[in-house]
């Protein structure tokens, strides 16, 4: 989601006439789009800002902007910490960058962190890829997971209308994009804040309805969405994904812990049994699906047995990919003030043990591709080997292959390529195009 916000802000800067500088320490304007999900992400920005503050003493025209979730969390306090800053702006203000910079031009130091209705973008995002695009469908989050800073920095849920979303996707298709990923912190909440109920009392603006509504946009061949919440993930959604041919066989559904007591303390609103049922249903309807998730170890009060329950779930499900993290206390979250915090060494040890298991399982899962022919959407040249292209399978496995196929056909980014997989690793695959 931060990447998508960065692309939108870069687009606004370009429309204002800014051009990308050759290096961070040569720019006339620097904008850091920050993350505060864990403490180590937050600390990074302070070291970057220190360097820019020193530059500014020599170069008074230099503009320094802090955007994103650290900006929202710290607000005015950031100005006290780094008085050289020109603009501090929360994530809900991303679309307002031009207005805010104009205020800076008139000589003010600006802090923009008030709750905003997010207006439709007029600026065109400067996207990093010309093949795959992010499309925001819902901003913010109304959940209250006890460890999580997101609701306090990204604000209340705000869904975009299906019409605005479809228009953006049609534009992307006309520019040559082939794959889209619909984005929301809790994408299953899409439409809760929009009107629309049918005669059976069912909401008509759910994520499932949205998928049907956008599915036929010509030119877009692959559709993904993230992040799913097990509490709201429905059978109807799984059925639709199985039916709609452009929906890719990959689901990112964080489970956070394999222990019911911990899930309760996290206020996640589901049991691990419910989670396992969802995965079973997906595997019945779409047997080849890849499953990925996020998980936290060392949540306050987590016992060794409770941690082992997480390991058991990881083993049982056999995730294709898992984002793992040690619990990090965040400002203004309930769990941060609980007395039963674990020692850093215990969290680090558990994280290490989990990561070893994740790597082993991902390797096993990837080995199922050996010898198979997979459809890969070529996204770019491999930056580490210019003789190769790289892209992803429908199941989101990163795949490398030469751009000349077995029968001499030459491929380029944007092509769908049938690749015979001849090497598998924990986090990527390699192969050769069959034609
Ligand atoms: N909206 C998504 C994820 C949001 S944050 C969801 O509900 O799953 C991305 C991931 O960061 C989370 O899934 C969680 O695993 C991790 N995370 C969030 N807060 C954290 C914290 N305080 N400490 C460690 N990891 C955290
Ligand atoms: Fe954070 Fe996700 Fe929970 Fe929302 S649903 S509070 S973003 S972890």
Give dist(CA 338, CA 299) in Å, integer. 10
150 pocket-lining for ligand 1 (C-beta < 6 Å): yes
Mean pLDDT of 300-329: 98
Same domain, 144 and 268: yes
Q: Which ligand is nearest to the CA of 154?
A: 2
What band does 122 get if pLDDT is binned at 50, 70 and 90? low
Yes or no: say if 338 and 390 are a contact pair by the CB < 8 Å rule. no
What range defines the domain where residue 102 resides? 2-112
DSSP conformation class of 270: -
226 within a domain of the structure (yes/no)? yes
Same domain, 230 and 310: yes
What are the tens digits of pLDDT across the range 11-32? 999 999 999 999 999 999 999 9
290 within a domain of the structure (yes/no)? yes
227 pocket-lining for ligand 1 (C-beta < 6 Å): yes
| Half-sphere exposure in the Cβ direction for 210 (13 Å, CA) | 30
pLDDT score of 196: 85
CATH of the domain at 428: 2.40.50.140
97 within a domain of the structure (yes/no)? yes
Same domain, 35 and 87: yes
42 within a domain of the structure (yes/no)? yes
Same domain, 163 and 276: yes
Question: Which residue, among 415, 421, 381, 414, has the nearest Cα to 397 in the 3D structure?
Answer: 421
CATH of the domain at 241: 3.80.30.20
229 pocket-lining for ligand 2 (C-beta < 6 Å): yes
121 within a domain of the structure (yes/no)? no
100 pocket-lining for ligand 1 (C-beta < 6 Å): no
Residue linked to tokens 């990959």: 250
In the chain, what percentage of residues exceed pLDDT 70? 99
- Mean pLDDT for all residues in the chain: 96
CB neighbourhood size of 138 (10 A): 25
What are the tens digits of pLDDT across the range 88-100? 999 999 999 999 9
126 within a domain of the structure (yes/no)? no
What are the tens digits of pLDDT across the range 152-186? 999 999 999 999 999 999 999 999 999 999 999 99
Indicate whether 123 pLDDT > 80: no
Same domain, 216 and 342: yes
pLDDT score of 197: 86
The rounded Å distance from CA 231 to ligand 2 centre is 11
Same domain, 311 and 332: yes
The rounded Å distance from CA 55 to ligand 1 centre is 35
> In sequence order, what DSSP letters do the residues of 1-58 get, joined into one string?
-HHHHHHHHHHHHHHTT----SSGGG-SEEEEEE--SSHHHHHHHHHHHHHHHHHHHH
253 pocket-lining for ligand 2 (C-beta < 6 Å): no
Indicate whether 83 pLDDT > 70: yes
The 3-state DSSP class for residue 376 equals strand
- Taken in order 167, 173, 176, 178, the sign of the CA dihedral is positive
What are the tens digits of pLDDT across the range 391-433? 999 999 999 999 999 999 999 999 999 999 999 999 999 999 9
Same domain, 194 and 45: no
**β-pairing, 388-393 with 373-381?**
antiparallel
Give dist(CA 65, CA 42) in Å, integer. 15
Q: pTM for this one?
A: 0.96
Give dist(CA 25, CA 51) in Å, integer. 8
Q: Please give the distance of CA 314 from its chain centroid, rounded to a whole number.
A: 21
Same domain, 50 and 192: no
Give dist(CA 240, CA 17) in Å, integer. 44
150 pocket-lining for ligand 2 (C-beta < 6 Å): yes
Give dist(CA 21, CA 265) in Å, integer. 47
pLDDT score of 119: 78
Name the residue with the closest Cα to ligand 1, atom 8.
Answer: 254
pLDDT score of 200: 84
Same domain, 164 and 306: yes
The 3-state DSSP class for residue 252 equals strand
Yes or no: say if 29 and 61 are a contact pair by the CB < 8 Å rule. no
CB neighbourhood size of 266 (10 A): 22
- 54, 78, 112 — which closes off a domain? 112
Determine the atom of ligand 1 nearest the C-alpha atom of 254. Answer: 8
The runs of H, that is alpha helices, within 59-189 are 69-74, 76-81, 97-105, 150-154, 162-174
CATH of the domain at 14: 3.40.50.12160
- 54, 80, 112 — which closes off a domain? 112
pLDDT score of 49: 95
Same domain, 69 and 15: yes
Q: Please give the distance of CA 84 from its chain centroid, rounded to a whole number.
A: 31
Mean pLDDT of 60-64: 96
Question: Which residue, among 197, 198, 184, 164, has the nearest Cα to 233 in the 3D structure?
Answer: 184
Structure tokens at 66: 């802090």
Same domain, 168 and 210: yes
Number of independent structural domains in the chain: 3
Same domain, 153 and 274: yes
What band does 202 get if pLDDT is binned at 50, 70 and 90? confident
Indicate whether 316 pLDDT > 80: yes
What band does 194 get if pLDDT is binned at 50, 70 and 90? very high
Which helix H or strand E contains 182, and what residues bound it? strand 179-183
36 pocket-lining for ligand 1 (C-beta < 6 Å): no
Question: Which residue, among 315, 336, 338, 318, has the nearest Cα to 327 in the 3D structure?
Answer: 336
Alpha-carbon Rg for the chain, nearest whole angstrom, is 23
Q: How far apart are the first and last CA of the chain?
A: 36
Give dist(CA 328, CA 37) in Å, integer. 8
117 within a domain of the structure (yes/no)? no
Indicate whether 374 pLDDT > 80: yes
What band does 124 get if pLDDT is binned at 50, 70 and 90? confident
119 within a domain of the structure (yes/no)? no
What band does 62 get if pLDDT is binned at 50, 70 and 90? very high
């Amino acid at each position: 989601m931060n990447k998508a916000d960065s692309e939108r802000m870069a687009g606004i800067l370009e429309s204002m006439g800014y051009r990308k500088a050759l290096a961070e320490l040569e720019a006339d304007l620097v904008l850091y789009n920050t993350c505060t999900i864990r403490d180590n992400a937050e600390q990074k920005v302070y070291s970057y800002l220190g360097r820019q503050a020193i530059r500014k003493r020599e170069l008074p025209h230099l503009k320094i902007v802090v955007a994103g979730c650290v900006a929202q969390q710290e607000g005015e306090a950031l100005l006290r910490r780094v008085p050289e800053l020109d603009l501090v702006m929360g994530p809900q203000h991303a679309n307002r960058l031009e207005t805010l910079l104009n205020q800076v031009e008139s000589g003010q130091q600006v802090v923009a962190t008030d709750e905003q209705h997010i207006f439709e973008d007029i600026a065109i995002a400067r996207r990093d890829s010309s093949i795959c695009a992010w499309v925001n469908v819902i901003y913010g989050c109304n959940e209250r997971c006890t460890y999580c800073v997101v609701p306090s920095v990204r604000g209340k849920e705000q869904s975009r209308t299906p019409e605005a979303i479809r228009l953006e996707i049609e534009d992307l298709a006309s520019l040559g994009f082939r794959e889209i990923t619909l984005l929301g912190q809790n994408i299953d909440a899409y439409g809760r804040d929009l009107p629309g109920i049918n005669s059976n009392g069912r909401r008509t603006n759910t994520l499932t309805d949205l998928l049907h509504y956008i599915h036929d946009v010509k030119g877009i061949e692959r559709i993904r969405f993230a992040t799913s919440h097990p509490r709201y993930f429905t059978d109807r959604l799984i059925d639709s994904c199985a039916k709609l041919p452009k929906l890719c066989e990959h689901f990112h559904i964080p489970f956070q812990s394999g222990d019911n007591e911990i899930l309760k303390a996290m206020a996640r609103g589901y049991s691990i049994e419910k989670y396992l049922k969802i995965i079973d249903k997906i595997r019945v309807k779409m047997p080849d699906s890849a499953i990925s998730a996020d998980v936290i170890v060392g949540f306050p009060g987590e016992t060794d047995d409770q941690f082992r329950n997480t390991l058991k779930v990881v083993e049982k499900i056999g995730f294709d990919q898992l984002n793992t993290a040690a619990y990090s206390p965040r400002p203004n979250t309930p769990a941060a003030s609980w007395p039963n915090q674990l020692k850093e060494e215990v969290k680090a040890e558990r994280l290490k043990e989990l990561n070893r298991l994740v790597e082993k399982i991902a390797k096993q899962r990837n080995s199922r591709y050996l010898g198979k022919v997979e459809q890969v959407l070529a996204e770019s040249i491999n930056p580490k080997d210019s003789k190769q292209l790289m892209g992803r399978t429908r199941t989101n496995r990163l795949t490398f292959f030469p751009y000349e196929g077995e029968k001499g056909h030459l491929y380029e980014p944007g092509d769908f390529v049938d690749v015979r997989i001849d090497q598998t690793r924990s986090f990527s695959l390699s192969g050769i195009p069959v034609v």
